[in-house]
Chains A and B, each alone.
Chain A
Amino acid sequence: MSELRRVVVTGLGAVSPLGHTARSTWAELKAGVSGIGPITLAADREALSQKVAAEVKDFDPLKHFEERRLSTLDRVSQFAMVAAREAIAQSGIVFDMPRSLRTATIVGTGTGGQTTVDESYRRVYLENKQRVFPLTIPKLMVNAPASQVSMDCGLRGPAFVVASACASATHAIGLAFQMVRGGVADYAVTGGSEACITFGVVRCWEAMRVMAPDTARPFSKDRKGLILGEGAAMLVLETLESAQARGATILAEIVGFGMSADAGDITAPDQGGMARAIEGALADAKLAPQDIQYINAHGTGTAANDETETQALHQVFGGHARKLAVSSTKSMIGHALGAAGALEMVATVMAVREGVAPPTVNFLGPDPACDLDYVPNEARKMPIEAALSNSFAFGGLNAVLAVRKFA
């Protein structure tokens, strides 16, 4: 086996409930701003019991795309492309030949082109129209975000979508990291995208009975569940050697990736599965538990996840668990399902880069079952040498990335 290469992040992009760039999103996360508000995107929203979500606000596709292209671009692809363009621009890389051939495009999404699905089904079932728009299939297909990013940015290496529900983006970034580390690709544009605030999707989440009626309060007493979110985030990954040769600004180094499956319940979280993914990421990174200062938690705000994730952290970190700063940015950007892990990687990379742990907002006070330091309500300046980003999906699919400060 050839020698493993070091992999660094040189570009970040995001479209989130807090802004249409990674820079604005991170600034708002640090300030503890909540992006949760009334649902405006869903058709028939008056008929929904759930009234709030974390929507991307004031997103005008025509600011980013020619009108004729929109017939093939669902909102989920639009978000992915805008985030990818920002990340690539920040990296300064021009993906011309032959570099384009060595660049992977790996994108996570949980639900794909739901806006298109919803609109098409309303047309045929509700409005009794005889036909749907001709390009409905390429617009809604679940791989569209990866295809559109690859087309838009001219990336000709390995490209596909990864679907593992709430862990999709973390699995995607982890695979891209492994590809660059192992020499399958030299560069990767990777992350996740989700645009799931439709009547149909919200109604299905209502049926699960796991959403909070007001806001997300991860790890807090009196938390009442998750809040759906949407958006995208993308990262540019390359080898350390390439970044240094270009004189690029290195934002952070990705050092480890751990995965596991619970092989248990389809929805209930599992402490053992979570712990194995965390341990896997640490081992892959050759980091000891004491080397970690910050954890961007999965932290959905459900009773079950937050308690189980806390127990998993105790299991892996032992006495060091109480020294960790653990926060859930879902308290501000909601749970963007297949994009969540990418938005959270933006937060984790910036936390390591700037030495600031973003807060868990809406925190009312400790729950006896959640007894760690969750950085309640206010960001904290602190030295962060290494951090983890956790994602634990429905279906028992777990993924954890380890990030180290590059100095």
Chain B
Amino acid sequence: MTDVANDVIAIIAKKVRVDHPKIEMSDRLQDLGLESLDAVEMIFDLEEKFDIQIPYNANNPRTEFDTVGDVVSAIEKLVASRPS
């Protein structure tokens, strides 16, 4: 697991109050109990942690953020394209 993945899962774990080691890449955020306000806070934490901008509108939930793995790969892409 990459450092980015590890950090992303830690942030998700904090929001859903599930222990970090128990979270799998295939877990669906909804099934982990992530509610809409948690999602907005998770996005904020991810942006702050990695200094990135994530386009996200709570009215139009991004289906590509269905699972933990989806979030990890989206953040890895945004981090890779971050201006250095």
Contacts and interface: CB of A to CB of B under 8 A. Distances in A.
A207 interface: yes
Nearest to A209: B58
Interface residues of A, number: 17
B37 interface: yes
Contacts of B44: 207
B59 A224 contact: yes
A223 interface: yes
Interface residues of B, number: 10
Nearest to A222: B60
B43 interface: yes
A212 B57 CA distance: 8
B60 to A, nearest CB: 6
Contacts, number: 37
A244 interface: no
Contacts of B58: 208-210, 225, 302-303
B60 A303 contact: yes
A303 B59 contact: yes
B33 to A, nearest CB: 14
A224 B36 contact: no
Contacts of A213: 57
A268 interface: yes
Contacts of A268: 36-37
Contacts of A267: 36-37
Given A207-B44, A209-B43, A225 B37 contact: no
Contacts of B56: 209
Interface in A182-211: 207-211
Contacts of A209: 40, 43, 56-58
Interface string B49-84: 000000011111000000000000000000000000
A267 B36 CA distance: 10
Contacts of B40: 207-209
A212 B37 contact: no
Contacts of B36: 267-268, 304
A386 B44 CA distance: 45
A41 B59 CA distance: 26
B71 to A, nearest CB: 15
A223 B59 CA distance: 8
A330 to B, nearest CB: 14
A302 B59 contact: yes
Contacts of A211: 57
Interface string A210-242: 111100000000011100000000000000000
Top 6 closest pairs, chain A to chain B, by CB: A303-B59, A225-B59, A209-B58, A209-B40, A224-B59, A210-B58
Interface of A: 207-213, 223-225, 265-268, 302-304
